[in-house]
Structure 1
Amino acid sequence: MKKRIKELLNELNNLKKKTLISEMRIQFIFLSTELDFLIAKMPINNKILQPFGFLHGGATITLAESVGCSLSFINLKNATKNAEKNNFNVFNIEIAANHILCIKKGILLAKAKIFHKGKTLHVIKIDVYNEKKNLISFCKMTNIIIKKK
């Protein structure tokens, strides 16, 4: 199973090439063996600060949405048959964030946990924290699963 988890993490990290996820330097670093939670990290740099020098809330939400949609993708990939693996798209249709702490530097980590895994909708909670385990933000998102035509 550990080999399969490594393969899935590598796939996620390879899919991000030439995307916003790559520009934000987001890296997927841990996936649970039950595929129910995924962790990613993102360094804080000057490009993702707001004008007052603190982490921009939009950067935090970008990290949260990236890890949440990726968790849905992995769960769908695992649940579908080989012929159907690439027959769907995952889209975030709603995200709500509460920003708790202002920070200026360090590493952000986002832990996404899937709470509802339906055929059409996934509900995911994401905790965003720093390397000292201080909660920075928490988010709730809803992903919709749409079959490709």
Structure 2
Amino acid sequence: MTIWYEDAIDVDVINERSRGSAVEHLGIVITGATDDSLLGSMTVDQRTVQPFGVVHGGASVLFAETLASWAATYTLDQSRQYAVGLEINANHVRPGLPGLLHGVATPINLGRTTQVWDIRITNEAGKLVCVSRCTMAVLDVPDPSQGPVD
């Protein structure tokens, strides 16, 4: 059984919606989905390294939150609800060297008002580089007749 609100996730739509954002700037691409996880990749290059030549921890966190955010979004009826990041943590267990990192976001809990996601980022050899947990708040789409939202 799938966790997704719609039958299929169109990664081309997600990647198009990410154009012009930090996601595109850092070379993050959503690459696929299974019945219960969202997959992506991020290139470790001059955009994502720190001065010592390995992936910057902040880039790994942005990658993790991107996967969790898109995954949470696609579990919802987007005409009625949306998800925003509430909290994220990350443990950097191995340096990410130049090349490609792969990420997998899998739900820990899909609640009515919050979701918790586990994100594992691995290197090209499949070794764990970063493990992250991201909590998403599920909000109702505001009624435009009620005026601006604070």
Tell me how far 1:13 sits from its aligned partner.
1.3
The total of aligned residue pairs comes to 137
Secondary structure of the 1:119 match is coil
- 1:44 matched residue in structure 2: 44
TM-score normalized with structure 1 length? 0.86
- 1:71 matched residue in structure 2: 71
- 2:131 matched residue in structure 1: 138
Identity of aligned residues (%): 23
Deviations 1:27-62 (A, max 9, x none): 111101x2x200100111112111122210000011
Query: Could you tell me which amino acid in structure 1 is paired with residue 102 of structure 2?
Result: L
The question of whether the paired residues in 1 share the 8 Å contact of 2:30 and 2:41 is answered with yes
- Distance in 2 (CA, whole Å) between partners of 1:13 and 1:103 is 23
Query: Could you tell me which amino acid in structure 1 is paired with residue 43 of structure 2?
Result: P
The question of whether the paired residues in 1 share the 8 Å contact of 2:44 and 2:96 is answered with no
Richer in helix (by share): 1
Q: Which runs of 5+ in 1 are unaligned?
A: none
Q: Following TM superposition, where does structure 1 have runs of at least 4 consecutive aligned residues deviating by more than 2 angstroms?
A: 85-89
- Distance in 1 (CA, whole Å) between partners of 2:33 and 2:65 is 16
- Distance in 2 (CA, whole Å) between partners of 1:16 and 1:103 is 23
Q: Which runs of 5+ in 2 are unaligned?
A: 143-150
Secondary structure of the 1:128 match is strand
TM-score normalized with structure 2 length? 0.85
Query: Could you tell me which amino acid in structure 2 is paired with residue 63 of structure 1?
Result: F
Tell me how far 1:90 sits from its aligned partner.
1.2
Query: Could you tell me which amino acid in structure 2 is paired with residue 37 of structure 1?
Result: S
